[in-house]
């Protein structure tokens, strides 16, 4: 019993941090441009595949930790640029029409899935840190076995979350993002080029999804697959609906609630790992029934 | 400075502006009066480019024809941010401060496009002199400001953009008479500092008291224009449109 509680507390907490990072990008692009990006999970997937593909090139020495970290950042940048361009070509032209945006983003997701199948086949490439890396070792904390990569993923997730908060509150670009999320017309009158800002935001959002994709995959399943975009999409959706669409604070707290809920199921229910995918859906249904605007939902506003 | 020719705006089939002509000379103070729904705000929104912008959640996209010349350059096809960059600054109806940002951050947003940091700081001091209350409220969220303070903030924010031509939409809306006076006095001060002004108002008395040239807009058409004295001479205009 006590062991279970400790396991839920530790593993749930670590997982929660990564979930918050995953949902952050989803809530960011919605809060600023009003786009419900159903391709968010696809950028998560693309990130993992990019990590594999670029990792094979071995810029700073194949198979070294230094190279892996470099490739992590490079993959985020590459996916960010791809996402910006996809946004400009497919979503921006239909901005203002929510239904068209959803259709467009679902199409992007399906196209990317096919793209992955065509280029990589239905294989499951390995997404992990180098074998000899310390991250692949496990630690024993209070009787719970945890891989270092899991802890590292948590720490990096929170660091990235904090970095984004700093960008939004302190930098000129961040202030422009907040202005646009609060009153897009007034923001345009200040001279903000919203088209460029939306492209940047989409790029940033996809970068966060990439980081989440690589960090989560490399510390859990360790393999990518053409269908790996669906589960994170459902998760991000559930988290931001729980936390309130467009709310950054909401994505952090929603991430923790979902993370703990999932871990509780995994630990306490026999064969819990197999049914854990249902948890976000149940949470989503409950929130929509009980408090449709979410915990911190002001709908479009993106608060500090 | 600004020359509008045959400006026509269609909203989803309905005509909001019908072949409107308007001219604002360098350094002039021009007013546009007209009742609710006559197209005053549409006119300013067309001038600042916000009317035809693509926005999240905005379904209808009005169509615009005619020409808008600013300093001899056609601007009717430009994006809102490009028009702002040219120095046409629109101070919108209902003030529209960024509610979840502080007064200071709002003012910084006004200077978004400016690269001259030193002058921005000077201008900040200047607007604080013009509106001392904003300095007191500098670190307060703008949603906590009173209506009058928000109007001052809106004007101050527009000033931070270093306008050549300042478009002001209904600055007196919802303000107590004494506040109206203050706001108006400030607009006059801004004008005397060399900024060209195009003021749109429902309050005829205010406009007559300040503008050098007044346009009367009704049902999307320019009925007439002229100096106060000319307009007052015409009994029909005085009674029907000015209500005096």
Q: Percent of chain A beyond pLDDT 90?
A: 86
Q: Which residues of B touch A95 (CB under 8 A)?
A: 54-56
Q: What is the pLDDT of residue A300?
A: 43
Least Cα separation, residue B230 to chain A (angstroms): 35
Q: What is the dihedral of CA B208, B34, B164, A192, to 10 degrees?
A: 150
Interface contact flag, A96 B54, Cβ < 8 Å:
yes
Across the interface, whether the CB atoms of A95 and B54 are under 8 A apart is answered yes
- Indicate the SS3 state at residue A147: strand
Answer yes or no: do A188 and B50 touch at CB < 8 A. yes
pLDDT in tens, A27-68: 999 999 999 999 999 999 999 999 999 999 989 988 899 999
Asked if pLDDT for residue A304 goes beyond 80, the answer is: no
The complex's ipTM works out to 0.95
Helix (H) or strand (E) holding A104: helix A98-120
From chain A residues 140-199, the ones with a CB under 8 A of any chain B CB are: 172, 175-176, 178-179, 182-195
In the prediction, which pLDDT does B58 show? 78
Question: Which residues of chain B fall below pLDDT 50?
Answer: none
**Residue linked to tokens 């607009």:** B187
Compute the distance between CA of residue A216 and CA of residue A153 in angstroms, rounded to an integer: 7
**Cα A35–chain centre separation:** 15
Closest-CA residue to B190 (of B153, B151, B164): B164
Asked if A304 is an interface residue toward chain B (Cβ–Cβ < 8 A), one would say: yes
What pLDDT, on a 0 to 100 scale, did the predictor assign at position B144?
96
Q: Do A35 and B56 touch (CB under 8 A)?
A: yes
Contact state of A191 with B84 under an 8 Å Cβ cutoff? yes
Question: A88 at the B interface (CB within 8 A)?
Answer: no
What pLDDT does residue A123 have?
87
Rg, Å, chain B Cα set: 18
> CB A63: neighbour CB atoms within 10 A?
12
pLDDT for res A301: 46
Q: Which residue has the higher pLDDT, A121 or A112?
A: A112
Adjacent-strand bridge partners of B225: B215
- Report d(CA A46, CA A36) in Å as an integer: 18
Answer whether residue A227 shows pLDDT above 80. Answer: yes
Nearest chain B residue to A181 by CA distance is B98
Residue with tokens 């056609």: B74
- Kindly determine whether residue B57 and residue A92, on different chains, have CB atoms separated by under 8 Å: no
CA torsion angle A163 A165 A170 A173 (round to 10): 90
Q: Is 60 exceeded by the pLDDT of residue A302?
A: no
Distance CA B184, CA B189 (A): 9
Chain B residues near residue A184 by CB distance under 8 angstroms = 55-56
| Longest pairwise C-alpha distance within chain A | 60
| CB proximity under 8 Å: B 105-124 to A | 105, 108-110, 112-113
Report the mean per-residue pLDDT for chain A: 93
pLDDT at site A298:
58
DSSP chain B: -EEEEEEEEEETTEEEEEEEEEEE-TT-EEEEE--TTSSHHHHHHHHHT-TT---TT-----EEEEEEEETTEE-TTS-HHHHHHHTEEEE-TT----TTSBHHHHHHHHTTT---HHHHHHHHHHHHHH-HHHHHTTTSBGGGS-HHHHHHHHHHHHHHT--SEEEEE-TTTT--HHHHHHHHHHHHHHHHTT-EEEEEES-HHHHHHH-SEEEEEETTEEEEEE-HHHHHH-HHIIIIII--
- B142 in Cβ contact with B98 (< 8 Å): yes
A-chain residues within 8 Å CB-CB of B92? 185-186, 189
| Interface check B100 vs A, CB under 8 A | yes
Q: How many angstroms separate the CA of residue A164 from the nearest CA in chain B?
A: 18
């Amino acid at each position: 019993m006590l062991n279970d509680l400790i396991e839920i507390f530790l593993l749930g907490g670590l997982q929660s941090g990564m979930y918050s990072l995953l949902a952050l990008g989803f809530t960011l692009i919605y809060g600023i441009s009003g786009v419900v990006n159903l391709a968010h999970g696809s950028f998560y997937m693309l990130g993992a595949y990019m990590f594999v593909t670029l990792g094979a090139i071995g810029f700073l020495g194949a198979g070294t930790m230094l190279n892996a970290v470099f490739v992590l950042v490079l993959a985020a940048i590459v996916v960010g640029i791809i996402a910006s361009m996809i946004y400009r070509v497919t979503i921006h032209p239909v901005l203002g029409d929510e239904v068209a945006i959803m259709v467009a983003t679902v199409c992007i997701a399906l196209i990317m899935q096919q793209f992955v199948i065509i280029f990589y086949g239905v294989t499951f490439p390995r997404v992990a840190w180098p074998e000899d890396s310390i991250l692949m070792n496990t630690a024993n904390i209070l009787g719970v076995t945890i891989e270092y990569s899991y802890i590292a993923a948590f720490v990096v997730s929170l660091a990235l979350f904090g970095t984004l908060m700093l960008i939004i509150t302190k930098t000129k670009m961040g202030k422009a993002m907040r202005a646009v999320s609060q009153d897009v017309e007034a923001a345009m009158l200040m001279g903000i080029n919203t088209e460029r800002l939306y492209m940047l935001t989409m790029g940033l959002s996809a970068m966060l999804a990439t980081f989440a994709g690589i960090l989560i995959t490399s510390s859990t399943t360790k393999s990518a697959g053409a269908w790996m975009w669906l589960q994170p999409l459902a998760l991000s959706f559930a988290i931001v609906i729980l936390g309130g669409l467009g709310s950054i604070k909401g994505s952090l707290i929603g991430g923790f609630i979902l993370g703990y809920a999932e871990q509780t199921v995994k630990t306490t229910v026999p064969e819990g790992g197999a049914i854990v995918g249902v948890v976000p859906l149940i949470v989503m249904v409950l929130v929509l029934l009980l408090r449709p605007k979410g915990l911190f939902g002001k709908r479009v506003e993106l608060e500090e | 400075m600004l020359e509008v020719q045959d400006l026509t705006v269609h909203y989803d089939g309905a005509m909001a502006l019908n072949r409107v002509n308007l001219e604002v000379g360098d350094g002039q103070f021009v007013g546009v009066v007209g009742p609710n729904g006559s197209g005053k705000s549409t006119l300013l929104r067309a001038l600042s480019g916000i009317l035809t912008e693509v926005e999240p959640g905005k379904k209808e996209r009005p169509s615009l024809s005619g020409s808008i010349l600013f300093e001899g350059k056609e601007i009717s096809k430009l994006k809102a941010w490009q028009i702002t960059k040219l120095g046409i600054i629109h101070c919108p109806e209902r003030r529209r401060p960024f509610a979840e940002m502080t007064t200071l951050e709002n003012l910084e947003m006004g200077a978004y496009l400016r690269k001259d940091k030193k002058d921005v700081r000077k201008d900040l001091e200047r607007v604080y002199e013009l509106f001392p209350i904003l300095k007191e409220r500098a670190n307060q969220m703008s949603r906590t400001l009173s209506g009058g303070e928000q109007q001052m903030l809106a004007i101050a924010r527009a000033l931070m953009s270093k306008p050549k031509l300042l478009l002001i939409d209904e600055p007196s809306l919802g303000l107590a008479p004494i506040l109206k006076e203050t706001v108006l006095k400030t607009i006059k001060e801004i004008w005397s500092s060399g900024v060209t002004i195009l003021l749109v108002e429902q309050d005829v008395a205010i406009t007559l008291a300040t503008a050098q040239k007044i346009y009367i807009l009704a049902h999307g058409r320019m009925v007439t224009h002229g100096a106060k004295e000319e307009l007052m001479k015409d009994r029909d205009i005085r009674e029907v449109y000015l209500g005096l």
